[in-house]
Amino acid sequence: MREHAREWSKHEMSSTETKPIARTVASTQSEMTEIILPNDTNTLGNLLGGRLMHFIDLTGAMAAYRHSRTHVVTAAMDHIDFIQPVHLGDLLTLKSSVNRAFSTSMEVGVKVWAENTQTGSALHVASAYLVFVAIDKNGRRQTVPQLIPETPNEMRRYADALLRREHREAESARRKQERHAYTEQNNGSTPNS
Protein backbone atom coordinates (compact mmCIF):
# COMPACT_ATOMS: atom_id res chain seq x y z
CA MET A 1 0.00 0.00 0.00
CA ARG A 2 2.82 2.33 0.97
CA GLU A 3 4.75 1.45 -2.20
CA HIS A 4 1.62 2.11 -4.19
CA ALA A 5 1.21 5.54 -2.59
CA ARG A 6 4.83 6.37 -3.34
CA GLU A 7 4.41 5.34 -6.99
CA TRP A 8 1.32 7.52 -7.29
CA SER A 9 3.03 10.58 -5.82
CA LYS A 10 6.03 10.04 -8.12
CA HIS A 11 3.65 10.07 -11.06
CA GLU A 12 1.95 13.27 -9.85
CA MET A 13 5.31 14.96 -9.46
CA SER A 14 6.64 13.91 -12.83
CA SER A 15 3.56 15.23 -14.63
CA THR A 16 4.29 18.72 -13.19
CA GLU A 17 8.02 18.44 -13.69
CA THR A 18 7.73 17.41 -17.33
CA LYS A 19 5.48 20.38 -18.22
CA PRO A 20 7.61 21.92 -21.00
CA ILE A 21 9.03 25.40 -20.54
CA ALA A 22 9.42 25.82 -24.31
CA ARG A 23 8.01 24.32 -27.49
CA THR A 24 9.06 24.57 -31.13
CA VAL A 25 7.01 26.36 -33.78
CA ALA A 26 6.80 23.05 -35.68
CA SER A 27 4.97 21.43 -32.76
CA THR A 28 2.19 24.07 -33.06
CA GLN A 29 1.62 23.76 -36.84
CA SER A 30 -2.02 23.04 -37.65
CA GLU A 31 -4.06 22.61 -40.81
CA MET A 32 -7.74 22.43 -41.79
CA THR A 33 -9.40 21.83 -45.17
CA GLU A 34 -13.04 22.70 -45.96
CA ILE A 35 -15.13 22.41 -49.10
CA ILE A 36 -17.06 25.65 -49.77
CA LEU A 37 -20.79 24.85 -49.86
CA PRO A 38 -23.79 27.09 -50.77
CA ASN A 39 -24.42 27.90 -47.11
CA ASP A 40 -20.92 29.44 -46.87
CA THR A 41 -21.43 31.88 -49.77
CA ASN A 42 -23.02 35.24 -50.60
CA THR A 43 -25.45 35.98 -53.45
CA LEU A 44 -22.58 35.97 -55.97
CA GLY A 45 -21.44 32.49 -54.93
CA ASN A 46 -18.32 33.74 -53.14
CA LEU A 47 -17.27 32.74 -49.62
CA LEU A 48 -18.66 35.14 -46.96
CA GLY A 49 -15.98 37.17 -45.16
CA GLY A 50 -17.44 36.30 -41.75
CA ARG A 51 -17.36 32.57 -42.56
CA LEU A 52 -13.71 32.87 -43.60
CA MET A 53 -12.96 34.67 -40.31
CA HIS A 54 -14.63 31.80 -38.45
CA PHE A 55 -12.42 29.22 -40.21
CA ILE A 56 -9.36 31.42 -39.49
CA ASP A 57 -10.30 31.66 -35.79
CA LEU A 58 -10.71 27.86 -35.53
CA THR A 59 -7.42 27.06 -37.28
CA GLY A 60 -5.62 29.70 -35.21
CA ALA A 61 -7.04 28.22 -32.00
CA MET A 62 -5.70 24.76 -32.96
CA ALA A 63 -2.12 26.09 -32.98
CA ALA A 64 -2.71 27.93 -29.68
CA TYR A 65 -4.11 24.74 -28.06
CA ARG A 66 -1.11 22.73 -29.26
CA HIS A 67 1.27 25.29 -27.76
CA SER A 68 -0.48 25.95 -24.44
CA ARG A 69 -2.21 22.60 -23.83
CA THR A 70 -4.95 24.44 -21.93
CA HIS A 71 -8.11 26.41 -22.83
CA VAL A 72 -7.68 29.51 -24.99
CA VAL A 73 -9.82 32.54 -25.88
CA THR A 74 -9.40 34.85 -28.85
CA ALA A 75 -8.27 38.25 -27.54
CA ALA A 76 -7.77 39.89 -30.94
CA MET A 77 -7.84 39.24 -34.65
CA ASP A 78 -5.91 41.85 -36.54
CA HIS A 79 -4.35 42.55 -39.88
CA ILE A 80 -6.58 40.35 -42.00
CA ASP A 81 -6.08 40.66 -45.75
CA PHE A 82 -8.76 39.27 -48.09
CA ILE A 83 -6.61 38.98 -51.21
CA GLN A 84 -8.83 37.01 -53.64
CA PRO A 85 -12.46 35.82 -53.59
CA VAL A 86 -13.10 32.14 -52.81
CA HIS A 87 -15.73 30.43 -54.97
CA LEU A 88 -18.46 27.87 -54.31
CA GLY A 89 -16.97 24.37 -54.61
CA ASP A 90 -13.36 25.46 -53.91
CA LEU A 91 -11.29 23.54 -51.37
CA LEU A 92 -10.12 25.93 -48.67
CA THR A 93 -6.91 25.02 -46.84
CA LEU A 94 -5.85 26.96 -43.75
CA LYS A 95 -2.45 26.59 -42.05
CA SER A 96 -1.50 28.08 -38.70
CA SER A 97 1.38 28.19 -36.25
CA VAL A 98 2.34 30.20 -33.20
CA ASN A 99 4.61 33.14 -34.15
CA ARG A 100 5.58 34.12 -30.61
CA ALA A 101 4.54 33.35 -27.04
CA PHE A 102 4.53 36.11 -24.43
CA SER A 103 3.43 35.66 -20.81
CA THR A 104 -0.16 34.37 -21.07
CA SER A 105 -0.79 35.30 -24.72
CA MET A 106 0.36 33.92 -28.06
CA GLU A 107 0.37 35.48 -31.50
CA VAL A 108 -0.72 33.00 -34.18
CA GLY A 109 -0.39 33.47 -37.94
CA VAL A 110 -2.91 31.88 -40.31
CA LYS A 111 -2.48 31.58 -44.09
CA VAL A 112 -5.31 30.47 -46.39
CA TRP A 113 -5.32 28.95 -49.90
CA ALA A 114 -8.25 28.14 -52.21
CA GLU A 115 -7.93 25.25 -54.66
CA ASN A 116 -10.06 25.00 -57.78
CA THR A 117 -11.14 21.34 -57.81
CA GLN A 118 -11.39 21.25 -61.62
CA THR A 119 -7.99 22.72 -62.51
CA GLY A 120 -6.05 21.94 -59.32
CA SER A 121 -4.68 25.50 -59.20
CA ALA A 122 -4.30 26.91 -55.68
CA LEU A 123 -4.23 30.62 -54.80
CA HIS A 124 -3.22 32.37 -51.59
CA VAL A 125 -6.49 34.11 -50.64
CA ALA A 126 -6.04 35.45 -47.11
CA SER A 127 -3.68 35.90 -44.17
CA ALA A 128 -4.33 36.95 -40.60
CA TYR A 129 -2.72 37.42 -37.21
CA LEU A 130 -4.61 36.53 -34.03
CA VAL A 131 -3.84 36.77 -30.33
CA PHE A 132 -5.04 33.99 -28.03
CA VAL A 133 -4.90 34.09 -24.23
CA ALA A 134 -4.47 30.85 -22.25
CA ILE A 135 -6.89 30.30 -19.38
CA ASP A 136 -7.80 27.44 -17.05
CA LYS A 137 -11.29 25.98 -16.76
CA ASN A 138 -12.20 28.71 -14.23
CA GLY A 139 -11.13 31.51 -16.56
CA ARG A 140 -7.85 32.27 -14.74
CA ARG A 141 -5.02 33.25 -17.07
CA GLN A 142 -2.24 30.69 -17.48
CA THR A 143 1.43 31.21 -18.29
CA VAL A 144 2.34 29.60 -21.61
CA PRO A 145 5.61 27.86 -22.58
CA GLN A 146 8.07 30.01 -24.50
CA LEU A 147 8.39 29.43 -28.24
CA ILE A 148 11.55 28.23 -30.01
CA PRO A 149 11.82 29.55 -33.58
CA GLU A 150 14.18 27.32 -35.59
CA THR A 151 14.12 28.31 -39.27
CA PRO A 152 14.94 31.76 -40.76
CA ASN A 153 11.22 32.30 -41.57
CA GLU A 154 10.18 31.37 -38.03
CA MET A 155 12.81 33.76 -36.63
CA ARG A 156 11.54 36.59 -38.87
CA ARG A 157 7.93 36.00 -37.76
CA TYR A 158 9.10 35.81 -34.12
CA ALA A 159 10.80 39.24 -34.39
CA ASP A 160 7.86 40.79 -36.30
CA ALA A 161 5.35 39.53 -33.69
CA LEU A 162 6.97 41.71 -31.04
CA LEU A 163 6.64 44.80 -33.25
CA ARG A 164 2.96 43.98 -33.89
CA ARG A 165 2.36 43.54 -30.14
CA GLU A 166 3.86 47.00 -29.48
CA HIS A 167 1.70 48.47 -32.24
CA ARG A 168 -1.43 46.74 -30.84
CA GLU A 169 -0.71 48.05 -27.33
CA ALA A 170 -0.21 51.61 -28.62
CA GLU A 171 -3.45 51.42 -30.65
CA SER A 172 -5.37 49.99 -27.70
CA ALA A 173 -4.10 52.82 -25.42
CA ARG A 174 -5.05 55.41 -28.06
CA ARG A 175 -8.62 54.02 -28.40
CA LYS A 176 -9.00 53.91 -24.60
CA GLN A 177 -7.96 57.57 -24.38
CA GLU A 178 -10.41 58.46 -27.17
CA ARG A 179 -13.27 56.69 -25.35
CA HIS A 180 -12.35 58.46 -22.13
CA ALA A 181 -12.29 61.90 -23.85
CA TYR A 182 -15.67 61.20 -25.51
CA THR A 183 -17.25 60.15 -22.20
CA GLU A 184 -15.92 63.31 -20.50
CA GLN A 185 -17.35 65.54 -23.26
CA ASN A 186 -20.74 63.80 -23.33
CA ASN A 187 -21.52 63.69 -19.62
CA GLY A 188 -20.83 60.01 -19.12
CA SER A 189 -22.47 58.54 -22.25
CA THR A 190 -20.30 56.13 -24.25
CA PRO A 191 -19.80 56.46 -28.06
CA ASN A 192 -22.47 53.82 -28.77
CA SER A 193 -25.00 54.62 -26.05
Ligand X SMILES: CC(C)(COP(=O)(O)OP(=O)(O)OC[C@H]1O[C@@H](n2cnc3c(N)ncnc32)[C@H](O)[C@@H]1OP(=O)(O)O)[C@@H](O)C(=O)NCCC(=O)NCCS
CB of 30 to ligand X, least distance (A): 16
DSSP structural state of residue 90: P
**Choice from 75, 80, 91, 148 touching ligand X (CB under 6 A):** 75
Q: Which residues contact 13 (CB under 8 A, 6 or more apart)?
A: none
Output the CA angle 170-172-174, nearest 5 degrees.
70
**149 vs 129: CA distance, rounded Å:** 17
For ligand X, which residue of 102, 111, 115, 142 counts as binding (CB under 6 A)? 102
Which residue, 65 or 102, is less far from ligand X as judged by CB?
102
Task: Confirm or reject binding of residue 104 to ligand X (CB under 6 A).
Answer: yes
Using CB under 6 A as the binding rule, whether residue 162 contacts ligand X is answered as no
Tell me: does residue 105 bind ligand X (CB under 6 A).
yes
* 18 contact partners, CB below 8 Å, separation of at least 6: none
Does the protein bind ligand X through residue 74 (CB under 6 A)?
Answer: yes
Amino acid in the structure at residue 138: N
Does residue 103 belong to the site contacting ligand X (CB under 6 A)?
yes
Residues at the site binding ligand X, with contacts judged by CB under 6 A: 73-76, 102-105, 131, 133, 141, 168, 172
